[in-house]
Amino acid sequence: MRIGITGHRGLSGEVERKVRTLIEEAVASYGTNTGTGPGTGPGNTGLVGVSCLADGPDAWFAEAVLDHTGQLEVVLPSERYRADLPAWYHPAYDDLLRRATKVHRTGLDASGPDAYMVGNELLVDQVDVLLAVWDGQPARGYGGTADVVTYAREQDIPVKVLWPEGTTRD
């Protein structure tokens, strides 16, 4: 099973804790590896997680996939993508990127909304299911979570929305 992630960044502490739990439960629902190799074994049909590795839900998802001994594939929206991520996050990003079994590149050099959308389209095109940490609101900028959800639905990729009931985004 190939699962992708999209989602809002910069969530408050309480929303973050709830979202992390929802991500963990979603990844676990696709099976836990009890075999000897990555993504194999009873209860696991070959878990592969695909993420752009932004800070927040992308990273939490990547960690959950690896914790369930799935394989991690990364989509890099641009060659300068890392520079646009917060400096405090770079060590975790570098670690997750190093642990990826495959890296998909858009071929774009500069980061920005267009690169993010191209990257997310490439991500959606690689998966069977998209997990969306999404409050159901319109995107705050081109290439945001709502745009990715719309693209996935246009491609007939099932979308599983993960949003804690009764919470709002700051």
**Is 40 within a domain?**
yes
Per-residue pLDDT tens over the stretch 63-121: 999 999 999 999 999 999 999 999 999 999 999 999 999 999 999 999 999 999 999 99
Query: Which whole number is the average pLDDT over 46-65?
Result: 97
**Is 170 within a domain?**
no
Per-residue pLDDT tens over the stretch 80-96: 999 999 999 999 999 99
**Is 23 within a domain?**
yes
Q: Give CA–CA dist 84/35, Å, rounded.
A: 38
Per-residue pLDDT tens over the stretch 6-40: 999 999 899 999 999 999 999 999 865 444 444 44
**Is 169 within a domain?**
no
Domain count, the chain: 1
Per-residue pLDDT at 139: 84
In terms of Cβ atoms closer than 10 Å to its own Cβ (0-12, 13-18, 19+), residue 29 is exposed
Q: What are the start-end ranges of the H helices in 4-144?
A: 13-29, 57-67, 81-84, 90-99, 113-124
- Domain with 110 in it: 2-161
Q: Is 132 left (phi over 0), alpha (psi -120 to 50) or beta?
A: beta
**Is 167 within a domain?**
no
State the CATH number of the domain containing residue 149: 3.40.50.450
**Is 22 within a domain?**
yes
